[in-house]
């Protein structure tokens, strides 16, 4: 773990103007225009990124395609790809302090969480796919004796990676690592408000020995650089994490261009269901508070709808309030802070609009609901709980992506299932119960990509992550993710 003195030194590091990363080198954008990087810690600019456009995306895709055709990565022995990616994992670990602090200055996540979730987790992900890639075999089909049917697994070609600002390095690695391990070339479009760590990752990849042109980064605005990538005729797939509306655009771009495949990891409105027989109510309350408030609620799987069984409602709410008010919101680069800054002033305004609407619709504010620490100039928000939330309210239906929890009560298991599934989303969920049968029934009944039991979050790289319904399709993490970045090719050989 990182020390406070290291953090205090690194937080003063000059970052300056950052270029695009194309064909193995840093390069200015076609127009020379830049975007300021504003830290949500204090609201001040501390760097700038290139405002990449369609011409820059063209350059990056061309470099990626050329590298792919050349074959020094795409057709290299898996053992070679493993060696380079293992080296990259080591470099990410070696630079973990630097990457963690850089990322926190960019997006405001509390350092304790950012350190583990960003460089440490990204390094683990890269190592996982590096180790996997020389253990995946093609197949021999069960044919008649006079024929040989071979099923090869091949990389797709050029993969576009578009990720959000909450955990750019971790989520980026979930896509970048399996795509590279399978032999693809990539063009990454980082989130405009948190691009710095992915730019650094590309540099580290070059240092690890990844051939030029295999890993390119075009920073810039989603509606410009992101759109150009989505519409590009020579991009074979887009792996996306972000909001539903942008996910829909990407499907549209695909239909209007070359029918590239699109994998969407979108938002959620995940139910966290506490039954009266939960094994330990106070522990459940602490984990539930962390499950919505850490990283200021900017977690795709955040348990943003809390469903509590009526018979323990008051007791549980007391425990939840205790756990919530204990969370210290403050400077994300202070190891003593449990919750850091909201990623941007715009996101904070969005969160406060949700609060106003919830109050207007009749939900009862239990705690929070306001901007705090205004004297810092940064974007901080008090963890916020509303109760008496009903199915029709905006707070029960729409993703806030902020530290705002809506609480509902239920009597029966059937009612819990019905409330849990009353959403267009289906990303994550949790059930707290001592009854094994209840747990298994709930796992089957809840429409979501993951059902936690007696915990929230923390699922490691060995299991898939992704949603059902409007939370998207395709899975990150685990060996299953590799399927997204490979195609099957049949060889049908007459043996005579």
Active site residue 14: no
Q: How far is the CB of 302 from ligand NAD (least distance, A)?
A: 8
Q: Does 230 bind ligand NAD (CB under 6 A)?
A: yes
Stretch that binds ligand NAD, among 16-24, 157-165, 283-291, 358-366 (CB under 6 A): 157-165
Q: Does 211 bind ligand NAD (CB under 6 A)?
A: no
Nearest residue (CB) to ligand NAD, 24 versus 267: 267
Stretch that binds ligand NAD, among 18-26, 235-243, 276-284, 437-445 (CB under 6 A): 235-243
For the chain, how long is the longest CA-to-CA vector? 82
CA distance 314 to 121: 37
CB count within 10 Å of CB 335 equals 15
Q: How buried is 428 (Cβ within 10 angstroms: 0-12 exposed, 13-18 middle, 19+ buried)?
A: buried
CA distance 287 to 404: 15
Q: What DSSP state is assigned to residue 465?
A: B
Q: How far is the CB of 381 from ligand NAD (least distance, A)?
A: 16
- The catalytic position among 110, 300, 319, 413 is 300
Phi first, then psi, for residue 237 (nearest 5°) are -155, 150
Q: Does 401 bind ligand NAD (CB under 6 A)?
A: yes
Q: Does 300 bind ligand NAD (CB under 6 A)?
A: yes
Where do runs of H (alpha helix) occur along 25-77? 54-70
Taking CA atoms, 65 is separated from 69, 72, 172, 412, in Å, by 6, 12, 20, 56
Q: How far is the CB of 181 from ligand NAD (least distance, A)?
A: 20
Q: Does 243 bind ligand NAD (CB under 6 A)?
A: yes
Stretch that binds ligand NAD, among 52-60, 178-186, 263-271, 308-316 (CB under 6 A): 263-271
Q: How far is the CB of 161 from ligand NAD (least distance, A)?
A: 9
Taking CA atoms, 426 is separated from 248, 261, 269, 304, in Å, by 16, 21, 7, 12
Q: How far is the CB of 241 from ligand NAD (least distance, A)?
A: 4
| Bridge pairing between strands 404-410 and 261-265 | unpaired
Do 358 and 394 touch, CB atoms closer than 8 A? yes
Site for ligand NAD in 458-487 (CB under 6 A): 467
What sign for the dihedral angle of Cα 469, 472, 476, 479? positive
Active site residue 131: no
Among 51, 97, 192, 413, which residue interacts with ligand NAD (rule: CB under 6 A)?
192
Do 270 and 304 touch, CB atoms closer than 8 A? yes
Among 115, 165, 380, 456, which residue interacts with ligand NAD (rule: CB under 6 A)?
165
Catalytic residues: 265, 300
Q: Which residues here bind ligand NAD, judged by CB under 6 A? A: 162-166, 171, 189, 191-192, 222-223, 226-227, 230, 241-243, 246, 249, 265-268, 300, 399, 401, 427, 467
């Amino acid at each position: 773990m990182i020390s406070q003195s290291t953090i205090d030194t690194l937080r003063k590091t000059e970052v300056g103007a950052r270029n695009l990363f194309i064909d193995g080198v840093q390069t200015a954008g076609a127009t020379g225009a830049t975007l300021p990087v504003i830290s949500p810690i204090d609201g001040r600019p501390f760097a700038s990124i290139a405002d990449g456009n369609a011409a820059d995306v063209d350059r990056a895709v061309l470099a990626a395609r050329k590298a792919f055709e050349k074959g020094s990565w795409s057709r290299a022995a898996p053992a070679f790809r493993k060696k380079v990616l293992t080296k990259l994992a080591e470099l990410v670990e070696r630079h973990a302090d630097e990457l963690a602090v850089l990322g926190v200055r960019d997006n405001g996540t509390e350092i304790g969480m950012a350190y583990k979730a960003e460089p440490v987790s990204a390094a683990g992900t890269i190592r996982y796919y590096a180790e996997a890639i020389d253990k995946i075999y093609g197949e021999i089909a069960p044919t008649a004796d006079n024929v040989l049917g071979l099923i090869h697994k091949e990389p797709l070609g050029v993969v576009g990676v578009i990720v959000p600002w909450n955990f750019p390095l971790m989520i980026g690695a979930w896509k970048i690592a399996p795509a590279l391990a399978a032999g693809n070339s990539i063009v990454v479009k980082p989130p405009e408000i948190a691009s710095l760590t992915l730019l650094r990752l590309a540099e580290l990849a070059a240092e690890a020995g990844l051939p030029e042109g295999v890993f390119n980064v075009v920073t810039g605005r989603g509606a410009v650089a992101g759109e150009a990538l989505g519409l590009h005729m020579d991009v074979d797939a887009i792996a996306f994490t972000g909001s539903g509306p942008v996910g829909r655009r990407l499907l549209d771009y695909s239909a209007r261009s070359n029918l590239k495949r699109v994998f969407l990891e979108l938002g959620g409105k995940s139910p966290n269901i506490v039954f009266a027989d939960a094994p330990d109510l106070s522990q459940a309350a602490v984990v539930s508070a962390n499950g919505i408030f850490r990283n200021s609620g900017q977690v795709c799987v955040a348990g943003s709808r809390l469903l509590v069984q009526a018979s323990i409602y008051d007791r549980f709410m007391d425990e939840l309030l205790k756990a919530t008010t204990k969370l210290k919101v403050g400077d994300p680069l202070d190891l003593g802070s449990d919750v850091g800054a909201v990623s941007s002033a715009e996101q904070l305004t969005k969160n406060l609009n949700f609060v106003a609407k919830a109050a207007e619709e009749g939900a009862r504010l239990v705690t929070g609901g306001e901007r705090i620490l205004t004297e810092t100039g940064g974007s901080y928000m008090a963890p916020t709980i509303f109760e008496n939330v009903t199915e029709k309210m905006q707070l029960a239906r729409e993703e806030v992506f902020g530290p705002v929890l809506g609480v509902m009560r239920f009597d029966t298991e059937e009612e819990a299932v019905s409330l849990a599934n009353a959403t267009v989303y289906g990303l994550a969920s949790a059930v707290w119960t001592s009854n094994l049968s209840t747990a298994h029934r709930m796992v089957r009944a809840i429409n979501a990509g993951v059902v936690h039991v007696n915990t929230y979050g923390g699922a490691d790289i060995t299991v898939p992550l992704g949603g059902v319904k409007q939370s998207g399709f395709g899975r990150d993490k685990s060996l299953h993710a590799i399927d997204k970045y490979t195609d099957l090719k049949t060889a049908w050989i007459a043996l005579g």
